[in-house]
Amino acid sequence: MSTTTQNSNPAATRIAWGSRWSFLLAAAGASTGLGNIWKFPYEAGLHGGGTFILVYLPCALLVAFPLMMAETLVGRYGGSDPVNSLRRIAREERLSSLWQSIGWLGLLTGFLIFTFYSVVASWTLYYIMNSALGSFVGVPAEIVQHSFGALLRNTDQMLLWHTIFVLMVVVVLTRGLNKGLERAMRMLTPCFLGLIIWLCLYASRIGDFDAALAFLMHYDLSAITAELIVSALTQALFSLSLGMGAMVMFGAYMRDQRSIASTTAWVMLFDTAVALIMALMIFSIVFAFGMRPDAGPGLIFSTLPVAFAQMTESSALWSTSFFVLLLSATLTSAFALLEPIIAWMTNSWRISRRLAAWLVGALAWVGGLLSLYSFSGLKFSFYYFGIERHHGFFDLLNIIAIHLFMPLGALLLAVFVTWRVHRAETKTLLSMRLNIGYRLWRFCCKIVAPLALSAVIILVLFFPA
């Protein structure tokens, strides 16, 4: 049975999370997805471990966290999907309706991310199947390592798993907030946490934690480049599902009496802790088996199966468990990517949620084909920050969505919330008890975040060579 609550507008009612824990689990699940298990480790591996973390942590604390509060605030104030929330707020504040364009940009960003996200999910499903069947047990390390390259060339396999993943996401989202999204998040997020603890305990026994710690704590200030700064800041946004409408949507489902500040703080701490723990676990296994940490996007697919295959006991069990963990994280983030689009369609087109979910799923499936065939028929290369990118639309969509659209959407939303919405309204909606806390949030969101995001956008647009 759906729960309703009053919005800032007394005439408006909306569907809400069943409890505070539901919001926490959903937001935590959305933030600790592929961003933390797949993307954070490979970005850290490419950029020198501790050097990347040294830049990432201030970006997460001073830019991403205040923006997460701002997006949740917009959702609570507007009480609807990103487009309609911003339209409603602009009307309440007597501002131009053009501000709703931020919502459109968020929907587009989330959709583009899903199109290559689903390809990574197809890899995950493939490795779950092969791990469960024991396909890598007793196989020479060279063959296991090359299996990832063979998968990229096998478009039929990727198409099959890509289709299955999209169907999994759509089936859950057709069931609505409380029976679909909320129930799935409440099941998957605790399973995700349990698997993390289980795998960390095992990694502490077979991995090289000392080498991993040394790698993640060692930094070199001279190695900080423009590309590293862009990667660290956009990773902080991606990790917390910002700039894609997800937190606006989750904020719209949040009960008005809940404190945005304290709730998002817990999510932020959880997200950062999981990112660091996963990096420590993955690199401890990588170093224990003498593999390279800078394998890029294929790090966990081309290296960890090798490590699991070399284990003498229960290798199939541990390998399967790891990729099930990755799948649960992938699903929670995928729900967050498509939910705002489905909500917008049901609100604006007046169609059933079931039909909206299937329409969005079909479009996402078709869009994913561009990334899926980037490793074969549609493959092309280009240079970005002096590095050759070999994977065509997969790399291009990644850069456009995460390095450009995401920071642009976050920048515009930060300006809207702190420069255009009345200060008294934002203070009331955030429900912050300490005035100094509100002032710090406002300074970061009004000055620090726009400056940092503007710098990233300028670097991406004018200095990518």
Provide the mean pLDDT of the chain.
Answer: 83
What contacts 356, CB < 8 A, 6 or more positions away? Answer: 342, 345, 346, 349
- Given a cut of 90, whether residue 408 has pLDDT beyond it is yes
pLDDT of residue 265: 87
Query: Which residue(s) pair with 14 in the sheet?
Result: 5
**Mean pLDDT lowest among 8-22, 96-110, 184-198, 202-216:** 8-22
- Given a cut of 70, whether residue 18 has pLDDT beyond it is no
Confidence of residue 6 (pLDDT cuts 50, 70, 90): very low
Structure token digits, residue 432: 């912050």
Dihedral-angle region of residue 314 (phi above 0 means left; psi in -120 to 50 means alpha; beta otherwise): left
H helix or E strand, kind and range, residue 383: strand 382-384
What contacts 269, CB < 8 A, 6 or more positions away? Answer: none
Q: Find the distance separating the first CA and the last CA of the chain, reported in whole Å.
A: 54
CB-based burial of residue 3 (10 Å sphere; 0-12 exposed, 13-18 middle, 19+ buried)?
middle
Structure token digits, residue 106: 């968020």
- Given a cut of 60, whether residue 50 has pLDDT beyond it is yes
CB 2 within 8 A of CB 178: yes
Classify domain 14-462 by CATH architecture.
Up-down Bundle (1.20)
What contacts 169, CB < 8 A, 6 or more positions away? Answer: 331, 334, 335, 338, 361
Going from the C-alpha of 179 to that of each of 2, 249, 450, the distances in angstroms are: 8, 17, 38
The amino acid sitting at 424 is A
Q: Over the stretch 122-141, which tens digit does the pLDDT of each residue have? A: 988 998 888 888 777 777 76
Give CA–CA dist 391/460, Å, rounded: 19
- Given a cut of 60, whether residue 13 has pLDDT beyond it is no
pLDDT of residue 223: 86
pLDDT of residue 302: 73
Ramachandran angles phi, psi of 3, nearest 5°:
-105, 140
What residues does each domain of the chain span? 14-462
pLDDT of residue 341: 94
Closest Cα to residue 416, out of 79, 59, 67, 80?
67
366 vs 142, more confident? 366
pLDDT of residue 447: 95
Ramachandran angles phi, psi of 180, nearest 5°:
-110, -80
In this prediction, residues 302-313 reach a mean pLDDT of 69
CB 189 within 8 A of CB 33: no
Ramachandran angles phi, psi of 6, nearest 5°:
-85, 145
- Given a cut of 70, whether residue 404 has pLDDT beyond it is yes
Give CA–CA dist 379/242, Å, rounded: 29
Confidence of residue 2 (pLDDT cuts 50, 70, 90): very low
CB 148 within 8 A of CB 224: no
Structure token digits, residue 187: 């099941």
Going from the C-alpha of 226 to that of each of 47, 231, 455, the distances in angstroms are: 11, 9, 10
pLDDT of residue 7: 41
Q: Over the stretch 333-369, which tens digit does the pLDDT of each residue have? A: 888 899 899 999 998 898 998 999 999 999 999 999 9
Considering the chain, what percentage of its residues have pLDDT values greater than 90? Answer: 32
Give CA–CA dist 277/289, Å, rounded: 19
pLDDT of residue 274: 85
Structure token digits, residue 394: 């997969």
Closest Cα to residue 332, out of 173, 185, 182?
185
H helix or E strand, kind and range, residue 389: strand 387-389
CB-based burial of residue 214 (10 Å sphere; 0-12 exposed, 13-18 middle, 19+ buried)?
middle
Give CA–CA dist 347/424, Å, rounded: 29
> What is the DSSP track for 10-68?
TT-EEEE-SSHHHHHHHHHHHHTSHIIIIIHHHHHHHTTTHHHHHHHHHHIIIIIHHHH
CB 166 within 8 A of CB 357: no
Q: Over the stretch 146-177, which tens digit does the pLDDT of each residue have? A: 778 788 888 898 899 999 999 999 988 888 66
What's the DSSP call for residue 8? S
What contacts 40, CB < 8 A, 6 or more positions away? Answer: 235, 239, 275, 278, 279
Q: Over the stretch 371-394, which tens digit does the pLDDT of each residue have? A: 899 888 788 888 887 788 888 888
Give CA–CA dist 346/356, Å, rounded: 6
pLDDT of residue 305: 78
What contacts 445, CB < 8 A, 6 or more positions away? Answer: 66, 67, 69, 70, 414, 417, 418
